[in-house]
Each structure stands twice: as C-alpha cells, then as structure tokens.
C-alpha cells in the first residue's frame, strides 16, 4: 500500500474580480451542470441605460439628417434640371452635389457608431451572465440574488471525470506501474477502482516520479484527502523503515537526527516509499541507528542530550 492524496480539477470563479450586483443565481451547491450552463447574472442596467441613451441620440440625429437629406435631394434635382436648361452654372450644381455627399457621409458615420454601440450592448448582456466552462458539480457558491459581490465570494465547480489520486514513487518502485494499469484505491476504508493515467517525473526531485490515478466513482471526495493505493511494486523484505515523522525535508534533501553516545548526529538520507506512517530509507541509516521522532526540530548537530530510558 502506498499513500497518496485526492486531487481534482476545479473551476474556481473568483467572483470578486467581476464586481457588481447579482440579479439572479441559477445554480445551487451540489447541482450537476453542463458546460456553458449559466451560473449567475449580474446587474448591468447602468451600462445598458447609458448605451441606450446614446443610441436614442443617434437615432434622433439620423432622423433629422434624413429629412435634411431629402430636402437637399429635392434641391439637387431642381438644380440639375436648371443646369440642363442652362439656367445655372456648373459650380452651382457642384455645390449642391457636394452638400448632398456631406449629408450621406454624416449618415454613414452615425450608422457606424450605431453598430458599434449595438455590439457593445450585446457584449455587456453576454458578459452579465457568468457561465461554466466545465460539465461537473457545483461544490461551493457564496452568492445570493440581490446582494453585491464581496472580496471572498466565489463559485467552485468540480469537473466530471477528473477526481484522481496522486502519489510519488521512486524509479525502482515503478516496476509494472504503466499507464492504463488497474489499481485498487482505499479512501476512508472505501474500496474504489482506479487506473493509472499519468506517470511523469517530479519537478522537485529527479529520483521521484509522480503517478496520477483516475478514480472510477461518482462520489465526491474532499480535495487533499489521504488515500491508500495498492500498486504492483517491487517487494523488499529487508527494507529499513522509520517513522515518517522523524524525517525533515529541506528542498530536495531529507535528513534525520540520530543519537550516538548521547550526542545528536544529523544524517542525510535517501527515502523510498511511504506506507501509512512508515517511510523506507534506501541509504544513510543503519538498522541499529536510534532516530529522533520527537523534539527533532529543537536540536542541532553535535548537541549533547540525555536519552530517556524506555
């Protein structure tokens, strides 16, 4: 048995980064949702009202320009007729044509502004509804309709099919641990089937490999919960095991304190598997070494100590 930790893919929506008033909450804790499901709707009335006001002004201006353009159009037709009859000059005709073109340009610019405002309005409405990226289960939500979003408010969604257990193995222990391998997992004395989905090197230790095991269960376990995994590893009947509490980890290094002739000795060790409360020591210790399990954080190398009789 090798110990690991429950790990799950969570979508955490930091509501405090959104800001505003909540108009409606569409989901509740424990609810199963699909990707794209609406979660909450924000109040965007102020922004929409401002855009609607600008669009009304543009519509009014377009209406006024349209009337003026029709009037100029009528004048242009008369001027064209007079020009054809030789009653007005080319300059008179050019002037009226230029005036008509100016009205057309103003109408075109206002319609472009109108289209931009409409797109902004559509974006604001779409942004007002916060949606889920994943199919999963809502595990936490701290928002209520009618309330304002606070700094600690958030929505947490556990993505379906992503609950797993992660553990670390040395290269020696990777024998027969291949991607796709079926394994037995025990969480709170409950037996769960799993299969190895990833085996890759650890970023913190060149000699350790991280193994990810996907769980075949619909039950939701708390992230970080301890899990025991029965994996096919090598057997070492002569393994040197010590209490895991005795080990002090510092970066990529591990060491323990031993007592020899009433003196504290600091020893660097290489560790192997951890099973429940015991850790295998591959090198750095002898079977008869006395290892400090209590008080090891308050002593130093070479310190004189009195060992209590057992």
Return the CATH number at 15: 2.40.50.100
Please tell me the distance from the alpha carbon of residue 61 to that of residue 66, in angstroms, as a whole number: 8
pLDDT of residue 17: 67
Looking at the structure, do residues 185 and 118 belong to the same domain, yes or no? no
Looking at the structure, do residues 62 and 29 belong to the same domain, yes or no? no
Q: How many other CB atoms are there within 10 angstroms of residue 13's CB atom?
A: 20
Helical H runs in the chain? Answer: 45-84, 90-127
Residue 30 lies in a domain: yes
Query: What number of helices (H) and strands (E) belong to the chain?
Result: 2, 18
Residue 4 lies in a domain: no
Half-sphere exposure of 131 (CA within 13 A, CB side): 12
231 and 186 Cβ atoms separated by less than 8 Å: no
End-to-end CA distance of the chain: 30
DSSP-derived letter for residue 8 is: -
215 and 192 Cβ atoms separated by less than 8 Å: yes
Handedness of CA 108, 113, 114, 120 (dihedral sign): positive
The 38-42 sheet, strands edge to edge: 22-25, 38-42, 129-131
Looking at the structure, do residues 279 and 255 belong to the same domain, yes or no? yes
User: Nearest 5°: phi and psi at 118?
Assistant: -65, -40
3-state secondary structure 230-247: ECCCCCCCCCEEEEHHHC
Looking at the structure, do residues 109 and 170 belong to the same domain, yes or no? no
Residue 1 lies in a domain: no
Looking at the structure, do residues 76 and 101 belong to the same domain, yes or no? yes
Looking at the structure, do residues 77 and 133 belong to the same domain, yes or no? no
Handedness of CA 197, 199, 202, 207 (dihedral sign): positive
- Structural domain boundaries, residue 203: 164-226
Residue 231 lies in a domain: no
CATH number at residue 248: 2.40.420.20
Residue 73 lies in a domain: yes
- Total count of residues recorded for the chain: 310
pTM of the predicted structure, to 2 decimals:
0.47
Structural domain tally of the chain? 4
Residue-by-residue pLDDT tens, the chain, 310 positions: 677 888 766 667 766 667 788 999 999 998 988 888 999 999 989 889 999 999 999 999 999 999 998 999 999 999 999 999 999 999 999 999 999 999 999 999 999 999 999 999 999 888 889 888 878 888 888 888 988 887 778 888 877 666 788 888 776 666 667 788 888 899 888 898 888 888 876 555 556 788 888 888 877 787 788 888 886 655 666 788 999 999 998 877 899 999 999 899 999 999 877 766 888 898 999 999 999 998 888 889 999 988 765 5
Looking at the structure, do residues 187 and 287 belong to the same domain, yes or no? no
Residue 55 lies in a domain: yes
């Amino acid at each position: 048995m090798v110990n690991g930790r429950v790990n799950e893919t969570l979508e955490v929506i930091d509501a405090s980064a959104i800001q505003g008033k909540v108009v409606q909450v569409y989901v509740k804790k424990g609810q199963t949702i699909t990707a794209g499901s609406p979660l909450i709707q924000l109040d965007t009335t102020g922004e929409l009202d401002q855009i609607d006001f600008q669009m009304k002004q543009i519509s009014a201006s377009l209406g006024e320009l349209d009337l003026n353009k029709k009037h100029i159009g009528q004048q242009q037709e008369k001027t064209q007729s007079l020009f054809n009859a030789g009653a007005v000059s080319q300059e008179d005709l050019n002037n009226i044509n230029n005036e008509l073109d100016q009205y057309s340009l103003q109408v075109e610019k206002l319609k472009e502004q109108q289209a931009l405002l409409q797109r902004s309005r559509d974006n604001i409405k779409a942004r007002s509804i916060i949606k889920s990226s994943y199919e999963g289960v809502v595990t936490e939500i701290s928002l209520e309709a009618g309330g304002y979003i606070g700094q600690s408010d958030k929505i947490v969604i556990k993505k379906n099919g992503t609950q797993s257990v992660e553990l670390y193995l040395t290269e020696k222990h990777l024998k027969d641990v291949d991607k796709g391998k079926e394994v037995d997992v025990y969480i709170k004395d409950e037996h769960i089937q799993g299969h190895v989905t990833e085996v890759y090197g650890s970023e913190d230790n060149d000699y350790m490999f991280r193994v990810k095991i996907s769980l075949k269960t619909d039950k939701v376990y708390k992230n970080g919960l301890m899990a025991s995994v029965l994996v096919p590893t090598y057997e070492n009947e002569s393994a040197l095991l010590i209490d895991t509490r005795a080990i002090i980890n510092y970066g990529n290094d591990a060491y323990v304190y031993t007592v020899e002739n009433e003196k504290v000795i600091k020893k660097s060790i290489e560790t192997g598997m951890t099973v429940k409360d015991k850790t295998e020591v591959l090198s750095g210790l002898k079977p008869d070494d006395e290892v400090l399990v209590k008080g090891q954080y308050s002593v130093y190398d070479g310190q004189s100590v009195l060992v209590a009789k057992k």
